[in-house]
């Protein structure tokens, strides 16, 4: 089935500002609360959100096999379960309907009144109910930086890293959409040179620049997914800030991996951009040497050229772009990650989320975490207002953006922006009973 | 509110065989498919399952504030969300209704016809939709055994172990109820002395004897739970077999923890036994030295005396009990685990599951995994039929049982039994298209 929605000549009758992440060729999917306090599934063109629930009720999707309430839900899980063929039919239909050459809806003021919202009229929600969340560790530069800092600089990568897309399970319940403030977490840490831990707010809160993909129902328990087919089970991508408390993580993570140092919060951008929309921006992954085992080998362009950047904005202060990176730096592709994840028969469901791991490039200004940017505190990051940072400070807002750009077409992700609030005053909290 | 259901003098008009795990003092909660292919929430007395959905429709819970469909669901999550007061009201009412001294239902053949099932008429389901699953590592004997085998025998425990209830996130999507067969997983392993991994079915599949508790909605994002109150948010316990592929785990787990070596399958017993039912069997946890940090200190009897055992049964063979252990050996209590898990503000939801980690005692016959029982293959476990085991063999069934017993009262968990099927023939599977 052709991806008609990607036609670069298509223009929408909804105005699209210059450099918008959301031209009619994007058509991301999200969930929002409308001005009437109704939850609906929607898409976005320019600075307008479109209520797909109402659009479907008004009959605009009548030629596509969809259940009546598929968009009148508070998550995209059921729609994602419908599979790639349906996603593409819906995306193509939206592109057609909002095309400036199409009169079906363009001049129907009553219908437009119901389905169109300006962004300030709505409140974006978490787009999916995330059953399971896995985080990979697939940037070679990031893994190398960590190895140099904490292990052997001459032998920075661990023996398994070039053979396995290393990953681990994370916590789904604390994944929140852009805009949700994050609390500085408490935890145990081990003071340098001591052998007894202390308790208090983390002193080393960090961001991690990641992207994450959302899957559909992919397999039955016990059935692996072939790497050649893995992309068929990926609905789309979001920006992902994997908040980390480095001091808590350091004391807790041996031998079973990161836990409380990560699960206090993780933030995602609210619009899921489909793989179809990213199709024009395919590029090759970095060459893999040694060649991976056969179940991880695939041909073609399995990565995407997505520019990424991170801003730090102090309270009432100026923003500073502290990192510019790119999704294409990832050593392991999403298809390899999903094939590896299921090679043992692990079941993947609709709405599961898989993070890339911190995405760092080769140059110091492309490192995807404050830990790497400030090189363990030895090279503080200078902000435009004159302040310095070795980690995220109270009331800093961290904003991540991502977009693709080629031949005049820009497809973007918007942003994931979240503010770090100071720690709660006492822990456990005092009771007022 | 008194736990009337625990009255040891109460007898049911439903026959309860001698040594049954399910006297009228138990009243566990589960979900089952009836002979009419209807899913309902139910409980069990003796060898009969009781359809609580029908019981509620017939008006037997009219004095308890419950929504009409609370038991007509395919998971217990909403009922668990109702909170401890409601659980206790329902459990007390069930105890009253099925008491031999109560005539309300006992002689109403029409109603009994609708609500009572023999166990062979129903099919037990997963009792909750598990949002997030965490596995702890809280048996000191188990952690010490692992340390002796894989690290330094004289320094077996890692520095953080006596300060932190060490835990990590697991995979929810592959948790299955007792009776679901498990496939031997494929994966990467590293042959001894080699530096390149190979691919194939795991050669070291193991069981892990654990228990797991199920939580209710406990806190908002950013809010810790006080250790003194933590038990109020624990609905009950199940038996838990945390299947493990030791060879896959060994190669993958550094530095981010176990992943594919664990997430191919985890099995639980289908009846959740409430903390209320376990109340008569409270005991002290082992003395903790050093004293933990204040947020982990609690008073009273925070553990339970639950006898545990594991049987190995080869295909068409005789069963052998290979392990006898006890839940009370756990160094860290459930309250400490939950307080630790939320001390950073991590949100816990209704239906989340937290595993204990492998429960080993001090004597070799109390070790909770084949890895420890056969001490890394050096002491093969002898089965009654004459065979030996260093790990689980194809078509072995692993059965775990657990029960409390005191002053003539026995409260048990039934069993979690699952068969290990041989690996699939080819991976990725050959297509017949």
Of A137, A185, A197, the CB nearest to B344: A185
Residues A253, B254: C-beta atoms closer than 8 Å: no
b/e string for B32-67 if b means 16 or more Cβ within 10 A? Answer: bebeeeebbbbbbbbebbbbbbbbbbbebbeeeebe
Every domain of chain B and the residues it spans: 4-124, 133-421
Containing B275, the helix (H) or strand (E) segment is helix B275-278
Strand, coil or helix: what is B205?
strand
Residues 6+ apart with CB under 8 A from A152: none
Alpha-carbon distance B271 to B49, whole Å?
11
Distance of residue A378 Cα from the nearest chain B Cα, in angstroms? 24
Tens digit of each residue's pLDDT (9 = 90 or more) over A353-388: 999 999 999 999 999 999 999 999 999 999 999 999
Alpha-carbon distance B105 to B111, whole Å?
7
- Which chain A residues are closer than 8 Å to B182 by Cβ? 222
pLDDT on residue B2: 85
| A165 pLDDT higher than 80 | yes
pLDDT on residue B432: 56
pLDDT on residue B433: 45
Say which residue the tokens 């993570």 belong to. A253
Residues 6+ apart with CB under 8 A from B173: A131, A132, A346, A347, A348, A349, A352
The tokens describing A346, both together, are 């692990």
Taking CA atoms, B113 is separated from B55, B60, B107, B117, B165, in Å, by: 11, 15, 11, 8, 48
> What's the whole-model pTM score?
0.98
Containing A44, the helix (H) or strand (E) segment is strand A39-45
| B138 pLDDT higher than 60 | yes
Tens digit of each residue's pLDDT (9 = 90 or more) over A25-68: 999 999 999 988 999 999 999 999 999 999 999 999 999 999 99
Residues A174, B346: C-beta atoms closer than 8 Å: yes
pLDDT on residue A433: 45
Tens digit of each residue's pLDDT (9 = 90 or more) over B255-299: 999 999 999 999 999 999 999 999 999 999 999 999 999 999 999
- Which chain B residues are closer than 8 Å to A295 by Cβ? 199, 427-428
| B1 pLDDT higher than 90 | no
Neighbours of A290 (CB within 10 A): 8
Tens digit of each residue's pLDDT (9 = 90 or more) over A99-120: 999 999 999 999 999 999 999 9
Tens digit of each residue's pLDDT (9 = 90 or more) over B24-74: 999 999 999 998 899 999 999 999 999 999 999 999 999 999 999 999 999
In percent, the amount of chain B with pLDDT more than 70 equals: 100
Alpha-carbon distance B215 to B318, whole Å?
37
Tens digit of each residue's pLDDT (9 = 90 or more) over B346-362: 999 999 999 999 999 99
What phi and psi values does residue B97 have, to the nearest 5 degrees?
A: -65, -35
Alpha-carbon distance A334 to A232, whole Å?
11
Residues B255, A158: C-beta atoms closer than 8 Å: yes
> Average pLDDT, stretch A213-241?
97
Confidence of residue B431 (pLDDT cuts 50, 70, 90): confident
Tens digit of each residue's pLDDT (9 = 90 or more) over B106-123: 999 999 999 999 999 999
CATH topology of domain A4-124: SH3 type barrels. (2.30.30)
Q: Do the bridges between strand B307-313 and strand B244-245 make them parallel or antiparallel, or are there none, so unpaired?
A: unpaired
Residue A285: burial class (beta carbons within 10 Å; 0-12, 13-18, 19+): buried
- Which chain B residues are closer than 8 Å to A348 by Cβ? 173
Distance of residue B10 Cα from the nearest chain A Cα, in angstroms? 37
Residues B164, A428: C-beta atoms closer than 8 Å: no
Which of B163, B164, B197, B222 is the best residue to mutate to test the A interface, defined by the most A CB atoms within 10 Å of its own CB? B222
Interface size, chain A vs chain B, as Cβ–Cβ contacts under 8 Å: 218
CATH 3.90.850.10 fits A133-421, yes or no: yes
pLDDT on residue A432: 56
| A274 pLDDT higher than 60 | yes
Beta bridge partners of B403: B307, B412
Catalytic residue among B142, B298, B340, B341: B142
Residues B253, A255: C-beta atoms closer than 8 Å: yes
Confidence of residue B422 (pLDDT cuts 50, 70, 90): very high
| A6 pLDDT higher than 70 | yes
> Annotated catalytic, A142?
yes
Region of B175 on the Ramachandran plot (φ > 0 left; ψ -120 to 50 alpha; else beta): beta
Taking CA atoms, A126 is separated from A39, A41, A51, B305, in Å, by: 11, 11, 16, 42
Of A173, A264, A348, the CB nearest to B348: A173
pLDDT on residue B214: 98
Alpha-carbon distance A304 to A287, whole Å?
14
- Which chain A residues are closer than 8 Å to B169 by Cβ? 168-171, 257, 259, 263
The tokens describing B64, both together, are 């308890």
Residues 6+ apart with CB under 8 A from B37: none
Alpha-carbon distance A286 to A406, whole Å?
20
Confidence of residue A230 (pLDDT cuts 50, 70, 90): very high
Neighbours of A291 (CB within 10 A): 10
pLDDT on residue B205: 98
- Size of chain B in residues: 433
- Mean pLDDT across chain B, nearest whole number? 97
| B85 pLDDT higher than 90 | yes
* DSSP of B309-350: EEEEE-TTS--EEEEEEEGGG-SS-HHHHHHHHHTT-----T
Residues 6+ apart with CB under 8 A from A62: none
């Amino acid at each position: 089935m052709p991806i008609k929605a990607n036609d670069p000549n298509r223009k929408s009758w909804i105005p699209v500002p210059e450099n918008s992440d959301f031209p009619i060729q994007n058509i991301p999917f999200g969930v929002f609360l409308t001005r009437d306090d109704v939850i609906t599934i929607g898409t976005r063109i320019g600075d307008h959100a479109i209520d797909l629930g109402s659009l479907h009720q008004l009959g605009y999707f009548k030629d596509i096999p969809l259940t009546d309430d598929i968009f009148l839900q508070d998550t995209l899980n059921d729609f994602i379960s419908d599979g790639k063929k349906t996603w593409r039919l819906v995306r193509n239909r939206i592109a057609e309907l909002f095309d400036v050459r199409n009169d079906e809806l363009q001049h129907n003021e009553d219908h437009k009144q119901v389905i169109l919202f300006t962004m300030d009229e709505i409140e974006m929600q978490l787009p999916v109910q995330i059953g399971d969340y896995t985080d990979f560790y697939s940037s070679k530069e990031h893994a190398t930086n960590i190895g140099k800092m904490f292990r052997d600089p001459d032998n920075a990568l661990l023996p398994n890293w070039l053979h396995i897309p290393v990953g681990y399970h994370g916590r789904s319940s604390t994944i929140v959409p852009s805009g949700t403030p994050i609390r500085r977490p408490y935890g145990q840490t081990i003071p340098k040179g001591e052998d007894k831990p202390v308790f208090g707010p983390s002193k080393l809160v960090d961001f991690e620049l990641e992207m994450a993909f959302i899957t559909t129902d992919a397999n039955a328990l016990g059935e692996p997914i072939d790497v050649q087919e893995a992309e068929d089970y990926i609905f789309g991508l979001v920006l992902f800030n994997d908040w980390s408390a480095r001091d808590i993580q350091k004391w807790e993570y041996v031998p079973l991996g990161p836990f409380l140092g990560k699960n206090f919060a993780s933030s995602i951008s609210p619009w899921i951009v489909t793989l179809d929309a990213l199709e024009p921006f395919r590029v090759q992954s970095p060459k893999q040497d040694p060649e991976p085992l056969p179940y991880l080998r695939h041909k073609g362009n399995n990565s995407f050229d997505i520019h990424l950047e991170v801003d730090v904005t102090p309270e009432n202060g100026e923003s500073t772009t502290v990192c510019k990176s790119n999704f294409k730096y990832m050593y392991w592709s999403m298809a390899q990650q999903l094939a590896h994840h299921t090679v043992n028969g692990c079941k993947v469901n609709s709405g599961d989320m898989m993070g890339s791991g911190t995405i760092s490039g080769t140059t110091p200004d492309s490192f995807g975490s404050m830990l790497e940017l400030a090189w363990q505190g030895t090279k503080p990051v200078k902000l435009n207002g004159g302040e310095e940072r070795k980690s995220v400070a109270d009331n800093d807002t961290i904003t991540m953006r991502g977009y693709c750009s080629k031949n005049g077409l820009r497809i973007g992700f918007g942003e994931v922006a979240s503010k770090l609030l100071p720690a709660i005053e006492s822990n456990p909290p005092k009771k007022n009973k």
